[in-house]
Structure 1
């Protein structure tokens, strides 16, 4: 805890020293004609300190800054009467700029986008200095007698240019931009940086080391080249070099501002405006370079992911141009369609679609390209290389160019032949008993009701396995299932070709014998009972068991109801069970 407090105390003392030094520099060296300081670095120093400091510690920074500003203005500025008011205005100006910038751009600090830079320039370089210049002008008018409008213009120009010119390099320096760059740059890039920054220094010396030829564009050209090659570090280092050389040269009586036949105050104002103009050129440029670099990294990552997905995906990915020509097909095409990717590139995608489905696919694609942002999924058939059909599902999205216009489509195609086969088999599955393969109760009810409604006569036979619960309990369900399957096979082989054998439920079965006389039906049922009693078709290793079945037979005539027929057959089955099982009983 103690080392932490000492570190905070040391940091506060360091800030106070730097801030007081920047105040002293501006007040002693740039207050010409006892007016407003022309070069105002102090506002940028405080602004940067607030930006990098947590909001909860701003009051401490503010009180330290007010004390330093009041002392500097008292000793080197407008005297004791203006010390506290101007200190409060100066500190409030930087405070307001930092608060508003952080409010409208919470992640402000890295200067990584044009949007971030523009918001900083509008707030710190225009809005806040213009507002704070008004009360400052009245205080200066009161203590120094300067006209209010002149004082307002001097304050606004000096402070706005100070924020614009000095805040970006100070902010990047405070955030360790140089350290990060030096740690990540290669040795070759470092040598290149030394050469480029040396050229910036040389261009600055040529510009501010003489006052014969106004070479104001020379440093800017070299700085732009340095920024393009080194990014934000190059922009920051170039601006610092230019400002250092420019301030020293101008103070010594050299530089392009010496060619202006104006007051010293205006000469420094022009110099600071030049610095701000340079910052306005290289700072957005560096921000755009950072944004483009980040975009390039995201594109490269997306491309790597895209390539991995394409190479490993079992689905087919097809890119189609606006006119329907295939421009790309993934390697999985050969597995699904039998074509190599190069065999379909350049062909119309509709040549690969089944002729019956092609119009529907074409219409859905046209509708998709009209809506742009939608995604359409459709099921259709394709023709494989061997001309066989394959059901697939295609999920298609429009592809836009840089102007937002549709220039094609991207489709993900998945094999759904298994699903389509299951869908086609659903009616059969809904009518079939899964254990035996016989028809189920739904089919039985429909057939019986339909036959009776059409005026048919015949017989209904019901079968019930004897002691089936004991078989399950003693030998297990696997043996019980085998007994059921065995009886189903006997039933299927014993009935007539047109008769429909049905498993009603559990161990209960039925056969509707349309058009059969009672004598013929009796023979069929007795044959079924006898065959099953003689059957020993059970799994190897299964215990020897004797399974039998009881049957009930009832005749029905045209006009009978299904309920009455079922009741009669069920009553006969009950009598067969009561008489000792393994037999047939016929309803009276």
Structure 2
């Protein structure tokens, strides 16, 4: 107060609000009242001795302590972290609250009280209040915050000897530069401290930047008050020169500390990235699945070591190659479609199963789970894929599907597969040459079982199956659909042609025999045939074939009948 009240009104330079604000933001709210009362009392004493006198002191101190209180409340309310220097957003919010809102609000009451007590201009006091308090808060709060939070102590304690030595050398350079700049009044060299200040910021972060600014502030203020330094080239009162110097400091702070905040954020991201990279390497190098990092063009950027075991490829040699070249030609369209879908929907994961070519030209089945990798703006920068060998599972599924659709005795398709095929053929039929369905029934098969036993009966069924498979065309289907009943599907074959094929099969069956000891066992078949109609479904087509079958049996068996 004694040094900066040049015109008898509000002080041109005010830094005590920075001390209180730094304290309020580093302690819990239960301690706020004690801090505010303490600062109000000491501020009243200082104002009574060095400022406006004892009568006005308690009233002037009230808006002085209210200003940091308002700033601290808004900082907490708007979610600003305890350190204003850890991100550009937090620093920007700090500038808005401590440099604009709080001084502007409390300055109304403060300037009014000072004007009444000192008989000076309200507008001048309001201007000096806002400028002095804003510049003081913006310049010195980060410095006091580092002290109050213990960041400087922790940095000194845990920094390496090399780090401390480098910082000490940089601070010496900063001190010498500041002395040289502010000890002369001939040249406007205010830009010179910026170079070592930026170097300190990049090498030591926000703690070093705050300490370097304190060096500039201490040396610059002392020299300016003595009438030295580039600031004294300005024509005006000492108060305006000191205000300009604080403005210079504030601009320096607002230039350097956001850089320090961004560097701190990037350092944190780098540490997290290293941790993530270590976890990623640990998982991928010990995973049984293949992990691939792909560019948006599908070029391989990284392949995990497991690709050597599963595919026989050297992962390092695959980098820079197109991943689609590893996929079987018939499946490339499906894999490419999944790749495009992933690029279009970066927040979703897509799965695709395909055959891949491993070393030696062999094929294996793989399942790939893939999703996009995006940057901060949400732009897709690549893809990450987890690829699992599913050959064993796929083979098991094929075997299960085959077992579910195969008659275990004859090896022919069963009724389930027959019905599925019949439904497909009926869907493709055009009502003219759409095809035919036929039912074959072995004549007197129960008599064979009763006479020679079920084992011989099974041999007869298998012998019929072999004859049937040898007589039909490629594309025709035969299935065992009951005990001694067999179904045939003849796609795109007219009724009379299907009847001729069935007659050929019937004659071939009648010509074979199965040995039961020394006795030959012969069998004949009765056949019902139905040509597909335009309005047919499975039930109607099979019903007409069944009616034709019974007609053949009524006519003496061992013959075929074509439904009308």
The TM-score with structure 2 as length reference comes to 0.72
Post-superposition Cα deviations, 1:512-565, rounded to whole Å, max 9, x if no partner, equal: 4679xxxx9xx99xxxxxxxxxxxxxxxxxxxxxxxxxxxxxxxxx97xxxxxx
Provide the C-alpha distance between the structure 1 equivalents of 2:368 and 2:312, rounded to a whole number of angstroms.
17
Q: Is the 8 Å Cα contact of residues 207 and 216 (structure 1) preserved in structure 2?
A: yes
Paired position in structure 2 for 1:498: 461
Post-superposition Cα deviations, 1:72-94, rounded to whole Å, max 9, x if no partner, equal: 22332222442232211111111
Cα distance, 1:170 vs structure 2: 0.5
- Selected match of 2:251 from 258, 273, 277: 277
Paired position in structure 2 for 1:45: 19
Provide the C-alpha distance between the structure 2 equivalents of 1:513 and 1:493, rounded to a whole number of angstroms.
13
Q: How does 1:117-156 map to 2 (within 5 A)?
A: 117-156=91-130
Higher mean displacement: 116-125 or 292-301? 292-301
Tell me the secondary structure at the aligned position of residue 356 of structure 1. helix
Tell me the secondary structure at the aligned position of residue 249 of structure 2. helix
Q: How many residues align?
A: 456
Paired position in structure 2 for 1:245: 219
Cα distance, 1:419 vs structure 2: 1.9
Please say if 1:301 is aligned against 2:264.
no
Paired position in structure 2 for 1:572: none
Paired position in structure 1 for 2:32: 58
Cα distance, 1:427 vs structure 2: 3.5
Paired position in structure 1 for 2:85: 111
Residues 234/438 of structure 1: CA separation in 2 closer, same or farther (3 Å cut):
same
Q: How does 1:169-184 map to 2 (within 5 A)?
A: 169-184=143-158
Q: Is the 8 Å Cα contact of residues 459 and 512 (structure 1) preserved in structure 2?
A: no
Q: Is the 8 Å Cα contact of residues 460 and 512 (structure 1) preserved in structure 2?
A: no
Provide the C-alpha distance between the structure 2 equivalents of 1:269 and 1:235, rounded to a whole number of angstroms.
22
Please say if 1:310 is aligned against 2:273.
no
Q: Is the 8 Å Cα contact of residues 114 and 125 (structure 2) preserved in structure 1?
A: yes
Provide the C-alpha distance between the structure 2 equivalents of 1:179 and 1:270, rounded to a whole number of angstroms.
32
Paired position in structure 2 for 1:196: 170
Residues 400/60 of structure 1: CA separation in 2 closer, same or farther (3 Å cut):
closer
Tell me the secondary structure at the aligned position of residue 461 of structure 2. coil
Higher mean displacement: 394-403 or 145-154? 394-403
Provide the C-alpha distance between the structure 2 equivalents of 1:130 and 1:445, rounded to a whole number of angstroms.
85
Q: How does 1:504-519 map to 2 (within 5 A)?
A: 512=483
Unaligned 5+ runs, structure 1: 1-26, 464-489, 501-510, 525-557, 560-588
Provide the C-alpha distance between the structure 1 equivalents of 2:22 and 2:341, rounded to a whole number of angstroms.
54
Cα distance, 1:362 vs structure 2: 1.8
Post-superposition Cα deviations, 1:330-356, rounded to whole Å, max 9, x if no partner, equal: 222222222223554444333321221
Residues 322/72 of structure 1: CA separation in 2 closer, same or farther (3 Å cut):
closer
- Selected match of 2:265 from 278, 291, 294: 291
Paired position in structure 1 for 2:372: 398
Cα distance, 1:56 vs structure 2: 1.7
Provide the C-alpha distance between the structure 2 equivalents of 1:85 and 1:408, rounded to a whole number of angstroms.
63
Q: Is the 8 Å Cα contact of residues 379 and 392 (structure 1) preserved in structure 2?
A: yes
- Selected match of 1:410 from 370, 384, 400: 384
Provide the C-alpha distance between the structure 2 equivalents of 1:445 and 1:331, rounded to a whole number of angstroms.
45
- Selected match of 1:374 from 348, 366, 372: 348
Please say if 1:265 is aligned against 2:236.
no
Tell me the secondary structure at the aligned position of residue 388 of structure 2. strand
Cα distance, 1:40 vs structure 2: 0.9
Residues 57/324 of structure 1: CA separation in 2 closer, same or farther (3 Å cut):
closer
Provide the C-alpha distance between the structure 1 equivalents of 2:415 and 2:187, rounded to a whole number of angstroms.
109
Q: How does 1:411-490 map to 2 (within 5 A)?
A: 411-428=385-402, 430=404, 458=444
Higher mean displacement: 54-63 or 422-431? 422-431
Unaligned 5+ runs, structure 2: 419-437, 464-481, 486-505, 507-512, 518-548, 551-564
Please say if 1:329 is aligned against 2:291.
no
Provide the C-alpha distance between the structure 1 equivalents of 2:243 and 2:223, rounded to a whole number of angstroms.
15
Q: Is the 8 Å Cα contact of residues 15 and 140 (structure 2) preserved in structure 1?
A: yes
Q: Is the 8 Å Cα contact of residues 129 and 159 (structure 1) preserved in structure 2?
A: yes
- Selected match of 2:50 from 76, 101, 105: 76
Residues 82/432 of structure 1: CA separation in 2 closer, same or farther (3 Å cut):
farther
Cα distance, 1:68 vs structure 2: 2.2
Cα distance, 1:398 vs structure 2: 3.1
Provide the C-alpha distance between the structure 2 equivalents of 1:54 and 1:157, rounded to a whole number of angstroms.
29
Provide the C-alpha distance between the structure 2 equivalents of 1:218 and 1:402, rounded to a whole number of angstroms.
36
Post-superposition Cα deviations, 1:358-378, rounded to whole Å, max 9, x if no partner, equal: 122222323332334432211
Higher mean displacement: 67-76 or 411-420? 67-76
Paired position in structure 2 for 1:33: 7
Provide the C-alpha distance between the structure 2 equivalents of 1:373 and 1:104, rounded to a whole number of angstroms.
29
Provide the C-alpha distance between the structure 2 equivalents of 1:230 and 1:81, rounded to a whole number of angstroms.
48
Cα distance, 1:431 vs structure 2: 7.3
Paired position in structure 2 for 1:166: 140
Cα distance, 1:492 vs structure 2: 6.3
Q: Is the 8 Å Cα contact of residues 210 and 254 (structure 1) preserved in structure 2?
A: yes
Paired position in structure 2 for 1:227: 201
Tell me the secondary structure at the aligned position of residue 369 of structure 2. strand
Q: Is the 8 Å Cα contact of residues 59 and 113 (structure 2) preserved in structure 1?
A: yes
Provide the C-alpha distance between the structure 2 equivalents of 1:491 and 1:341, rounded to a whole number of angstroms.
60
Residues 330/148 of structure 1: CA separation in 2 closer, same or farther (3 Å cut):
same
Provide the C-alpha distance between the structure 2 equivalents of 1:53 and 1:320, rounded to a whole number of angstroms.
48
Provide the C-alpha distance between the structure 2 equivalents of 1:403 and 1:116, rounded to a whole number of angstroms.
20
Paired position in structure 2 for 1:364: 338
